């Protein structure tokens, strides 16, 4: 029994960490160009784009989950295409969870990056250009290293926020052990079945994990700023 509990504690945590890591990597890769565009543009579409990016902060997870369920479902625009390509459904799968998490955590990656990019002095980029760097070159050689803290912040927030999500996962992923049963769902499950001991163990584990991750981020941030 004890062994079984041990298994059932760590498998959901492992899945959660896996999901959060993949989501973070995808979000850094996709969020960086979005954040850069938002930080540099004076387009009239900027406010609309900003609103769309920020929506997951405001909307209840059930609303996002509901629309994603429709979109990713076998009859949805993305879901049906996915079925055609891979032969399996997106909903109630790990891949579906990654897509859902990326949507849900998007603002938590974009906003720290955007504010880091916005705080770069415009003239510093201009200096890099006049020194022979193309826009892309200046972005990688100047903007990215100078926004290091923004990247740390974006990664940690996207990771932590994905780790802590519940509603969207429940609606899009369900509760399939080893596939979509992340730790927040597992805790909910244990509480529902009045298995408070296991719920305690998992909750405490998540609590400590969250503290360690955030603590690590602030330590790194402090080191960076006092260098």
- Residues in contact with other proteins by the rule CB under 8 A: 121, 123-124, 126-135, 137-138, 141-142, 145-146, 148
Cβ-based nearer residue to other proteins, 89 or 146? 146
Helix, coil or strand: residue 227: coil
Min separation Cβ 120 and other proteins, Å: 10
CB 89 within 8 A of CB 83: yes
Cβ-based nearer residue to other proteins, 44 or 122? 122
CA distance linking residue 154 with residue 35, whole number of Å: 11
Q: In the Cβ-directed half-sphere of 35, how many Cα atoms lie within 13 Å?
A: 28
CA distance linking residue 81 with residue 75, whole number of Å: 9
Min separation Cβ 128 and other proteins, Å: 7
Cβ-based nearer residue to other proteins, 146 or 213? 146
Which DSSP letter does residue 1 get? -
Min separation Cβ 86 and other proteins, Å: 42
Cβ-based nearer residue to other proteins, 70 or 141? 141
Min separation Cβ 167 and other proteins, Å: 40
CA distance linking residue 105 with residue 111, whole number of Å: 11
């Amino acid at each position: 029994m004890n062994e079984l509990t041990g298994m059932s504690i760590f498998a959901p945590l492992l899945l959660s960490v896996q999901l959060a890591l993949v989501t973070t990597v995808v979000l850094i890769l996709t969020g960086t160009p979005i954040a850069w565009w938002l930080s540099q543009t004076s387009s009239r579409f900027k406010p609309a784009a900003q609103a769309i990016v920020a929506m997951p902060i405001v909307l209840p997870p059930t609303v996002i989950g509901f629309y994603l369920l429709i979109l990713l479902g076998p009859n949805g625009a993305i879901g049906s295409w996915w079925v055609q390509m891979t032969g399996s459904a997106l909903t109630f799968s790990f891949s579906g969870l990654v897509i859902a998490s990326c949507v849900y955590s998007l603002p938590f990656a974009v906003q720290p990056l955007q504010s880091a990019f916005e705080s770069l002095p415009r003239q510093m980029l201009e200096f890099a250009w006049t020194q022979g760097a193309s826009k892309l070159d200046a972005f990688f050689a100047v903007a990215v290293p100078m926004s290091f803290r923004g990247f740390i912040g974006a990664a940690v927030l996207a990771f932590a926020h994905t780790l802590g999500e519940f509603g969207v996962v429940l609606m899009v992923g369900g509760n399939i052990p080893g596939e979509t049963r992340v730790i927040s769902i597992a805790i909910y499950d244990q509480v529902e079945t009045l298995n408070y001991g296991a719920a305690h163990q998992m909750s405490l584990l998540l609590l400590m994990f969250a503290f360690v991750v955030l603590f690590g981020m602030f330590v790194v941030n402090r080191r960076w700023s006092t260098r």
